[in-house]
Amino acid sequence: MSTQAKRYRIGYALVPKKVQSFIQPSLINLASRHNIDLIAIDPSKSLIEQGSFDCVIHKLYSSDWKLQLERFSLENPNVPIIDSPDSIERLHNRISMLEVVRRLNISKRSEVLDVPKQVVVLDSENLKGNGVIGELRFPILAKPLVADGSAKSHEMYQIFDSEGLKRLDAPIILQDFVNHGGVIFKVYVAGDYVQCVKRKSLPDISQEKLATLKGSLPFSLISNLTVPEKNEGFDIVVDLEKVEMPPLGFVEEVAKAMRQETGLNLFNFDVVRDAKDGNRAEKCLLETLKMETSKAI
């Protein structure tokens, strides 16, 4: 007598934009063929009363939702929640985000993992002079302190001089800009599964070009510069096909160490190579990804 394979109920709680992007018919059909039913969770209703789940995957961060998950976990201690709100919360602050990387235990090898130098500015008055940047040197990157996925958390700028600092509002983080060949390596992690892909990034800036650049530019504007004669001095010609990927063993080791340090199972991080040293992974930024791993899988 044949026994019917168990079907698994995976509940997902995502903002509508993420649902439209990732919960496609192809994904639903693929999951179904593997005995997985993807069930939409309504965060406005009691999670406990929405049926039994074998796993809950979410990308919501409100205090009400956190309380919902806590109650659900008490009632269903054996059901995995991916990921824990407490583990995710530390990644909503770019200071604690980079501290994660500093604590990683990576074996000695030819590749070196590091984080950019940075200065935290809590008072906008301090942005009126060069003194705030400390050891940093222009150009620098300006990023909001909070990294919660909101539109404001994505308002980032490349700053070329002290005048560019004056348009910023604190709290904010100023970071070294590292020439990295205009390429960023995005690493997607889903449990033990790791995939690294190449994407175009901010273009390199030579010292000669830097002398001609003034004020600041938002990341979005820099990313949209596609015509060489209109690039305002940026070197934007990048052939991704010719860019060598970081060694897979190195990427997997970093991903494993991040899982152990953060307690997360579904996330991504970015790595860039310092253009001055082709083997150096000069900057590594970690942020929550959740269902966005479907971009790589």
> Binding site residues, as ranges?
18, 59, 94, 143, 154, 175-186, 201
The candidate with the shortest Cα–Cα distance to 216, out of 159, 176, 161, is 159
123 φ/ψ angles, rounded to the nearest 5 degrees: -120, 120
Q: Which residues are annotated as a binding site for ATP?
A: 94, 143, 175-186, 201
Distance CA 190, CA 259 (A): 10
Q: Where are the beta strands (DSSP E) in 212-275?
A: 216-218, 266-273
For 139-143, which contacts have Cβ atoms below 8 Å and span 24 or more sequence positions? 139/177, 139/205, 139/210, 139/213, 140/174, 140/175, 140/176, 140/177, 141/116, 141/174, 141/175, 141/176, 141/177, 142/168, 142/172, 142/173, 142/174, 142/175, 142/216, 143/94, 143/172, 143/173, 143/175
Distance CA 274, CA 154 (A): 23
According to DSSP, the β-strands at 112-113 and 280-288 are parallel
Q: Which residues are annotated as a binding site for 1D-myo-inositol 1,3,4-trisphosphate?
A: 18, 59, 154, 186
According to DSSP, the β-strands at 266-273 and 280-288 are antiparallel
Distance CA 217, CA 146 (A): 20
Answer yes or no: are the C-beta atoms of 13 and 81 closer than 8 Å.
no
Amino acid at 274: D
Distance CA 257, CA 171 (A): 30
Burial class of residue 262 in the structure, from the number of CB atoms within 10 Å of its CB (0-12 exposed, 13-18 middle, 19+ buried): buried
- Enter the tokens of residue 42: 């309504």
Answer yes or no: are the C-beta atoms of 265 and 198 closer than 8 Å.
no
